[in-house]
Amino acid sequence: MILAIDVGGTKLAAGLVTPDGHVLETRVAATPQDADAERLWKALEELIAPMPEAEGVGVGCGGPMIWPDGRVSPLNIPGWRDFPLRERLAASFPGRTVRVHNDAVCLAAAEHWLGAGRGHANMLGMVVSTGVGGGLVLGGRLVNGGTGNAGHIGHVVVEPGGPLCGCGGRGCLEAVARGPALVAWAQEQGWSPGHGPLDGGPYEEGRAVTGRGLASDALRGDPVARAAMARAGRALGLAIASATHLCDLDVVTVGGGLSQAGAPLFGPLEEALRAHARMDFARRLRVVPAALGQSAGLVGAAALILAGDRYWDAI
Amino acid sequence: MILAIDVGGTKLAAGLVTPDGHVLETRVAATPQDADAERLWKALEELIAPMPEAEGVGVGCGGPMIWPDGRVSPLNIPGWRDFPLRERLAASFPGRTVRVHNDAVCLAAAEHWLGAGRGHANMLGMVVSTGVGGGLVLGGRLVNGGTGNAGHIGHVVVEPGGPLCGCGGRGCLEAVARGPALVAWAQEQGWSPGHGPLDGGPYEEGRAVTGRGLASDALRGDPVARAAMARAGRALGLAIASATHLCDLDVVTVGGGLSQAGAPLFGPLEEALRAHARMDFARRLRVVPAALGQSAGLVGAAALILAGDRYWDAI
């Protein structure tokens, strides 16, 4: 049994995962806000304390990080800067393998291992949410690139001179298609949140104005929400066309809150993709919604260990 | 000794290559124009007839092709459509390995093996000439993608809604930065060819209006030629930024006629690259001119055999 951990800015999750990728036991805790490094570590320690029997530990964590060292500085967890997460976990689980990778990369590994990308040798796994991230599988193996950062599809340029991006560039896919950017765009066009998400996720007062809420409203026919999804879809289609020309992909999986929008997102995405992916070899590409649900992060973290021949290539 | 063959629309080249990548003997012939499949084959057969002792045959050929079968349909050789080049060569060299790959991919393999990309595990090798092509090396190995077409950087979109591309899309890097497109753009701005190329290449009457000529004029200070090179450089920088965010590259090599322009091309390229490649991991990327000269195509074709562990991954 492998201990899988998913470290995010909102919540910490941990689970025991069987060799075939079933998540047996899940524990979740809120990520302490405004906490220092040691308080954050204590919260994680308490979460995983009931799972000491794990034979190995796989971790997905928000980036950036020094990889494969697992020294993490997650954008949304200011208390951890160059925090030696892998080293701490290795001390807690002596003699056992501990592997840490980018959370978006883990989601891609999960979709390739057991989800919508299964059986395809060349895949880009995307997540469209508060940010736009991804992971790249080529020749059946996870691609790390020089520093473990391959897969950053969110910073492919789709609109030169376009909106400023968090990275400092302009016109990145993420600057156009991330949830908060779309919400801001929709609000400028007069949208205010309607009915709440279709999937029963959190939608309380004060959390309603999210990409997920916008996606739900689009699916219900709200015209501004639909226009926002079309805007995201076009940007995604264009970035995916560029990615498949460069990497000769078989399949792209799209997950994250925005992918809940279904046709209002995927229709314009396909249209832009087909307009731009014109080389013969690129026409065969299929874009599909991610198949694994809430547990994908844990499944992918476990895959770093359980299917390390494909998803772990560090020296 | 390996027989290396480079099949292009203008010329056919063949050479014997030593195990360490030295091209010992080179023969070149003009590619028969308006010839049918068998006349083209005959020309190639005559070219390689004096080199029957080869222990293996590596071929770089213009795309598209069915890979790894080596059935070729080079855009610039209309007489060959689905021509079984690999099979014919295998019949001519019984018992010996014959491998055929895209010519741009061979150039990238050459630069990685013995040129400007040597020692870097993650590289994009580009050629900017009549077209814009490339090959991708990740984790120290050539990436083929699903159909052997990975590396098509020329069809990364740099100008959505921009000029029509030969592929049918719009705003591809190739549509903006290929030699003939730049020449047309420069001529619209009033440029006419000046002094000829610096490198002593062909520049007779009637051949002067080429990307190479434009590059030479830019280097001599012609303002319109410089503006054309800046236009290409910006497009290249933007595409390279997207590629490095997606693939986490260490180095990009740029070869082909246009790369002769030097600073007038590479200056604006660097500027656009640095404006868009803002993620920490992307800042370390270096863009360098290709190091191998005219023989690069033959060296890369030979690498398919001589360094097949890195550059040949077909099942």
Q: What per-residue confidence (pLDDT) applies to A195?
A: 58
CA distance A90 to B138: 29
Convert the pLDDT of each residue in B214-264 to its tens digit: 999 999 999 999 999 999 999 999 999 999 999 999 999 999 999 989 999
- Let me know whether B23 and B136 are in one domain: no
* Residue B176 near residue B163, CB atoms below 8 Å: yes
B286 vs A: CB within 8 A: no
- Let me know whether A274 and A301 are in one domain: no
B34, B39, B44, B50: CA torsion to nearest 10: -140
- Let me know whether B123 and B96 are in one domain: no
A278 vs B: CB within 8 A: yes
Q: Reduce the DSSP state of residue A228 to 3 states and report it.
A: helix
- Let me know whether A69 and A155 are in one domain: no
Q: Would B107 be classed as within a structural domain?
A: no
Classify each residue of B197-222 as buried b or exposed e, where b means 16 or more C-beta atoms within 10 Å of its C-beta: bbeeeebeeeebbbbbbbbbbbbeeb
Residues of chain B with pLDDT under 50: 200-207
Structure tokens, B250: 């260490």
- Let me know whether B122 and B229 are in one domain: yes
A238 vs B: CB within 8 A: yes
pLDDT-based confidence at residue A207 (cuts at 50, 70, 90) = very low
- Let me know whether B92 and B123 are in one domain: no
Asked if residue A25 has pLDDT above 70, the reply is: yes
Convert the pLDDT of each residue in A74-87 to its tens digit: 999 999 999 999 99
B66 vs A: CB within 8 A: no
- Let me know whether B89 and B162 are in one domain: no
- Let me know whether B145 and B262 are in one domain: yes
Which residues in B lie closer than 8 A to residue A74 (C-beta atoms)? none
Instruction: For residue A149, give its domain range.
Output: 120-289
Are A245 and B278 in contact (CB < 8 Å)? no
Are A139 and B275 in contact (CB < 8 Å)? no
Which residues in A lie closer than 8 A to residue B250 (C-beta atoms)? 146
Residues 167-206 of chain B whose Cβ lies under 8 A from any Cβ of chain A: 167-170, 172
Q: Which amino acid is at B93?
A: F
Element (H, E) at B302: helix B296-306
Q: How many domains does chain B have?
A: 2
Residues 117-156 of chain B whose Cβ lies under 8 A from any Cβ of chain A: 121-122, 136, 138-139, 141, 143-156
- Let me know whether A302 and A180 are in one domain: no
Q: What per-residue confidence (pLDDT) applies to A250?
A: 98
How many residue contacts between A and B have a Cβ separation below 8 Å? 161
CA distance A235 to A233: 5
**CATH assignment of the domain containing B36:** 3.30.420.40
Asked if residue A54 has pLDDT above 90, the reply is: yes
Q: What per-residue confidence (pLDDT) applies to B134?
A: 98
Q: Would B299 be classed as within a structural domain?
A: no
Q: What per-residue confidence (pLDDT) applies to A205?
A: 40
Are B246 and A247 in contact (CB < 8 Å)? yes
- Let me know whether B140 and B273 are in one domain: yes
CA distance B149 to chain A (A): 6
The yes/no answer to whether this complex scores an ipTM above 0.90 is yes
Are A146 and B121 in contact (CB < 8 Å)? yes
Structure tokens, B190: 């009033």
- Let me know whether A301 and A260 are in one domain: no
Are A246 and B247 in contact (CB < 8 Å)? yes
